[in-house]
Chain A
Amino acid sequence: MKGTSLRRVFKNAALLLVLFIILTGLIYPFVIVGLGELVFGGKAGGNLVFVDGKPVGSSLIGQAFTRDEYFHPRPSAVDYDASLSGPANFGPTNRNYIESVGKRVDKLGKENNGQVIKGEIPVDIVTSSGSGLDPEITPAAARLQAARIAVRRGVSKEKIDSLIEEMTVGRELGFLGEYRVNVLILNLELDKRFPLKK
């Protein structure tokens, strides 16, 4: 290619770049921001959950519950700091990983008054998620914690079990995804129905 035509190529490239950066990098995202706020309001803003008018979290983002009276989430590589995200990236034969899962199994036993049977620990509650912000646990992992919460809140375990049942979300459209319970929503429901006795 000759010098003049090469200059023309780079001129075309530079001008097209500028135009497409404006069109797809400014106009397009702003259109979606506008439409999102207009049509979907709270969804575009992160599905925040309010109690007495104050935000207590997002129904899509997990939180670090540690007290006995609440359901606990999965382990998190970012300690549920939602200004960050990411997985632990442990490989399947990493000794530290296998040992840390073993420790979580033992800790669950202690937290739940020894009512947890080794060999029956649901896998999700002792492994960390892909986002570090998984808002959900499996119904199995929730039931594992029911006895502890029942004692702490002074209600029968059956009531907690049936609450879990009620709050369990099935497969979307009947076949997509897995059965699951949202930890924040579940804990809000606990506070509402079985408030802690002061």
Chain B
Amino acid sequence: MTAIGLFQILLFIAILIIITPFLGSYIAKVFQRERTFLDPVMRPVERLIYRLASVDEQREMGWREYTVSAIAIGVLGAVILYVVLRIQGILPLNPQGRGSLSPDLAFNTAISFVTHTNWQAYAGENLAYLTQMMGLTAQNFIAAGTAMGVAAALIRGFARKTAETVGNFWVDMTRSILWVLLPLALVFAIFLVSQGVIQNLSPYVTVKTLEGTSQSIAMGPVASQEAIKILGTNGGGFFNANAAHPFENPTPLTNFLQAIAMLAIPAALTYAFGKMVGNARQGWALFAAMMILLTVGVITVFAAEQGGNPLLTRVGVDQAATSRQGGGNMEGKEVRFGPFGSALYANATTAAAVGSVNSSHDSFTPIGGSVLMFNMMLSEVVFGGVGAGLFTMLIFAVVAVFIAGLMVGRTPEYIGKKIEAKEMKMAMLVVLIFPATILILTALAVMTGAGKAGIFNPGPHGFSEILYGVTSAAANNGSAFGGLKANSQFYNVLLGISMMIGRFAIIVPVLAIAGSLASKKAVPESAGTFPTTRPLFVGLLIGVVIIVGALTFFPALALGPFVEQLLMKAGITF
């Protein structure tokens, strides 16, 4: 670990610790419909939206209605996006004359954006500007707002006592977008333009180079999409190269701040949780567990990538860091980011379920790539997607107190609520559906010709490509080992299914727990209550997350990246 690398990690952690209570208490106010400084602007817009959409903002919903509403907006959103992708050829704002997408690619992309995955089977350059704006940019807001709503409902499950309802989904989503996502995106987009991220509706520019050849340069409304793609932990690129593209991520500063912005809302939601259940330390405990897991990941990936590829040393390449080069494994990485900027971004994006990439994850060293995969295999709880990270981590917290309860033979409780059979059944559904989906669909892909046809890199790395892809889809992450030829009918459908299970099959049990908890009485804290604000709980929570992830995925990781790392050290190629 270089001194500069260490400094950047510490600064990164410090910035997140500083913004979390501010943004977190603001989000808590938004969820609880308290006054904020944006009310004079946003309250009239909010009222207008409810009037036009005939939403009764005073109506409270039970968990079933809340769930159906969240799914309804996803289903209808997917239908609209599918239609837009299928007919973009005849729509306006299409200066490059891009044609419509094939049915399977349109299906995959539509599912991908409404499930908050933003998997890129599409190449951004093949989409018209109108599709990028009304299709992708808008869904980035709506999917993120949906996930924040589900998190708000689960928090209310803990906060409310003997209540029949968990909130109003339409209000939670609308307020999340108007008060949190849209204002932050506006500010961030303008900052990005100031750094060189483009924002225009011009046709591609053709220039004559110094050597007399011509070069066509892509254009488009990039900054507006980039900002919400990062802040909303969405991740679908405007361009095929995603955030490696200099027009999406032009400087080391944009790179660092994008990595912060990815984690800002997920981190703040832990504080919002603590605040809404009446004890900020409950939120900090979750934050601590997430931050420890993230830091270990960043350090491991950085060490692996700075270490370089021994096979390149054999053919005469110098990968040492000197005053004239950053060194390290530079295949698929940009010079301006180097090994550290790439490792930090790659960790943030896989931990926070973003999926925006500033380098080719496929070209990372096997150990570096395995950490990125493992981040996702932990069910995206290392901060995770906005909303999704918090609600999944709360499920793991429930499992952790259950295990603690088993050890001492007491009925477990968390945040003053007894955890009983119904909650545990639902929590185990969440914990089990996820690995089952990944392992079964990966097995299906490696057993079929159509699945194996997608492999680009031979040897164990080919298996890693498939495992990474299915994991990314189920975790609603969206990053890829990009060599996998994912735009085939087989993968478009397989990964589409994986994404749907990863989103909808998870939020149903989560909201069922929310409903069940809300209806319970609060149990007063006693001497026998396991304190969930202490380091002991943080350690237990990390242990549960890692053990569940490691036990289910270790065999698969051994077949892919682990064996490849050993073979690479031994000088073997495929």
A and B: bona fide binding partners: yes
Question: Could you pull out 22 A-B pairs where Cβ atoms are within 8 angstroms?
Answer: A1-B68, A9-B72, A10-B76, A23-B182, A32-B221, A33-B200, A39-B194, A44-B200, A44-B223, A47-B196, A55-B205, A60-B250, A67-B211, A84-B218, A91-B459, A92-B364, A92-B365, A133-B241, A135-B246, A138-B324, A175-B8, A180-B336
Known: A1-B68, A55-B205, A94-B461. A176 touches B255 (CB 8 A): yes
- Report the separation of the CA atoms of residues A97 and B177 in the bound assembly, to the nearest whole angstrom: 45
- What does DSSP make chain A's interface, helix, strand, loop or mixed? mixed
Binding site for B on A (CB under 8 A): 1, 5-6, 9-17, 19-21, 23-26, 28-29, 31-33, 35-37, 39-40, 43-48, 51, 54-58, 60-61, 63-67, 70, 74, 80-95, 97-98, 101-102, 105, 118-124, 126-141, 143, 171-173, 175-180, 184, 187-188, 191
- List of B residues within 8 angstroms of A67 by Cβ: 211
- List of B residues within 8 angstroms of A179 by Cβ: 323-326
Q: Which 10 A-B pairs have the closest CB atoms?
A: A177-B252, A130-B244, A25-B138, A91-B457, A118-B316, A87-B360, A85-B241, A178-B338, A25-B134, A15-B53
Known: A85-B239, A94-B574. A178 touches B326 (CB 8 A): yes
Binds A, one of B183-191, B261-269, B541-549: B183-191
Q: Is there a chain A Cβ closer than 8 Å to B215's Cβ? A: yes
Contact present for B461 and A9 (CB under 8 Å): no
Residue from B72, B213, B253, B481 in contact with A176 in the complex, judged by beta carbons closer than 8 Å: B253
- List of A residues within 8 angstroms of B572 by Cβ: 93
Contact present for B308 and A123 (CB under 8 Å): yes
- List of B residues within 8 angstroms of A16 by Cβ: 49, 53, 55, 73, 170, 173-174
- List of B residues within 8 angstroms of A37 by Cβ: 200
- Report the separation of the CA atoms of residues A136 and B246 in the bound assembly, to the nearest whole angstrom: 10
How many CB-defined contacts (below 8 Å) exist between A and B?
Answer: 400
Binding site for A on B (CB under 8 A): 4, 7-8, 11, 49, 52-55, 64-65, 68-69, 72-73, 76-77, 80, 123, 125, 133-135, 137-138, 140-142, 145, 170, 173-174, 177, 182, 185-186, 189-190, 193-196, 198-202, 204-205, 207-211, 213, 215-219, 221, 223-225, 228, 239-241, 244-247, 250-253, 255-256, 308-309, 311-312, 314-319, 322-338, 341-342, 357-360, 362-366, 456-461, 464-465, 481-483, 564, 567-568, 572-574
User: Chain B's nearest CB lies how many Å from the CB of A40?
Assistant: 5
Closest to B341 in A: A177
Residue from B182, B216, B218, B330 in contact with A28 in the complex, judged by beta carbons closer than 8 Å: B182
B135, B216, B225, B573 pick with most chain A CB within 10 angstroms: B573
User: Chain A's nearest CB lies how many Å from the CB of B69?
Assistant: 5
Closest to A58 in B: B217
Closest to A60 in B: B246
Residue from A24, A44, A123 in contact with B312 in the complex, judged by beta carbons closer than 8 Å: A123
- Report the separation of the CA atoms of residues A45 and B200 in the bound assembly, to the nearest whole angstrom: 6
Known pairs A57-B210, A64-B209; list 15 more (Cβ under 8 Å): A9-B68, A37-B200, A43-B196, A45-B198, A90-B331, A92-B331, A102-B315, A122-B317, A122-B324, A123-B317, A123-B325, A129-B332, A130-B333, A175-B4, A177-B253
Closest to B199 in A: A36
